[in-house]
Amino acid sequence: MDTKDEKYHLRTLQLALNGLGRVAPNPMVGSVIVLDNKIIGEGYHQHFGGPHAEVNAIASVKDEKLLRKATLYVNLEPCAHYGKTPPCAELIIKKQIPNVVIGQLDPFPAVSGKGLQMLIDAGINAVVGEHVDQCRFLNRRFLTFHEKKRPFFILKWAQTIDGFIDIVRNHNSPQAPNWITDEHTRILVHKWRSEEQAILIGTNTALFDNPRLNTRDFYGKNPIRLVLDRQLRLPKTLHVFDKSVKTFIFTEKQKKSEENLEYIQIDFSKLLYELSTFCYERQIQSVIVEGGARLLNTFIQQNLWDEARVFIGNTSFGKGIAAPSMNSMPVSSENLPNSMLKIWHKHPAAFNIDK
């Protein structure tokens, strides 16, 4: 891929990222149409069920006749099947676009290789680009889901400067979180929640923090709530039972489900396997795990995580519940107003895309 191709390829990634949190379980896709080294059209997949990136890009070109001499860039292979929308490969052929540069092939079985072959069979000069790492990083949730048959797991927690995630609490403790960071960090966390399909917490986090697990401090959809309650000991007065958001309670007991509140009976000796299988069957591609320490440590010990986002606040507890420990160096560290944010990627891509 030469320099000009790379420029347009990067633009497709920038456009695609606009769909974060809005297109799942579809992938994020952006498309650019170029003629004589000038962008004449661009678009991205804006929401699940809506037109795909190529459709929006083609529709943005004012003079359709220009398409017959143009090059279409797209970060993911154009679809070749009928889903909620007609095949994009078919539209590209119909519009007689002679050149197509594809960032990477689509691992989804209904598409994989078929879109590319459809274009080639129609006489279009279609090639797959060289910067696959960039495309994979962008759609890491979608790819993990289809390649590993499980959701993309993001671990998130805040810890004090002396290494504690919480104080030791009991049933007489107030049902509220012990804040380690500030309201600015909370807004960022709510933004993160809006970008993922589900959020997972353990029993003690639900009991002692009484979290809402929503995006009230940021514009965006609320994630599906996943809550562990092995012995059904959580009181129904907690926010997670308010039915305001689709909620699944995982338990070993039998209990009748209600509207927006479903009880899932699982084997807790195979907890992470059961959670992964459930999410795969329900088409949940990404889960942000927000605690507590025991649950986070289980993911780390079983090496079932993809990203970790850790805030280190400017406060101390002196004693309490030790924060989880990552066994590798973070890929990035960022100083925030009242904390430091450290990020881990289990499989860092060669290219990172800022959120």
pLDDT (tens digit, 9 = 90+) per residue, 12-47? 999 999 999 999 999 999 999 999 999 999 999 999
| pLDDT, greater one: 51 or 176 | 51
Instruction: Using pLDDT thresholds of 50, 70 and 90, give the confidence band for residue 299.
Output: very high
Q: How much is the pLDDT for 312? A: 97
Q: Give the C-alpha distances (Å, rounded to integers) separating 27 from 23, 57, 228, 330, 341.
A: 7, 16, 29, 26, 27
Q: Which of 54, 77, 195, 196 is catalytic?
A: 54
- C-alpha 209/C-alpha 190 separation (Å) is 16
Asked if residue 25 has a cis previous peptide bond (ω within 30° of 0), the answer is yes
- C-alpha 7/C-alpha 129 separation (Å) is 12
pLDDT at 350 over 60: no
Half-sphere exposure of 200 (CA within 13 A, CB side): 26
Give yes or no: 130 in active site: no
Instruction: Using pLDDT thresholds of 50, 70 and 90, give the confidence band for residue 177.
Output: confident
Instruction: Using pLDDT thresholds of 50, 70 and 90, give the confidence band for residue 132.
Output: confident
- Contacts for 168 with CB less than 8 Å, ≥ 6 apart: 319, 320, 321
- C-alpha 17/C-alpha 50 separation (Å) is 16
Instruction: Using pLDDT thresholds of 50, 70 and 90, give the confidence band for residue 80.
Output: confident
Q: How much is the pLDDT for 29? A: 97
Mean pLDDT calculated for residue range 192-217:
96
- C-alpha 110/C-alpha 113 separation (Å) is 9
Specify the pTM: 0.92
Residue-averaged pLDDT of the chain: 92
Give the DSSP H or E segment for 40: strand 38-44
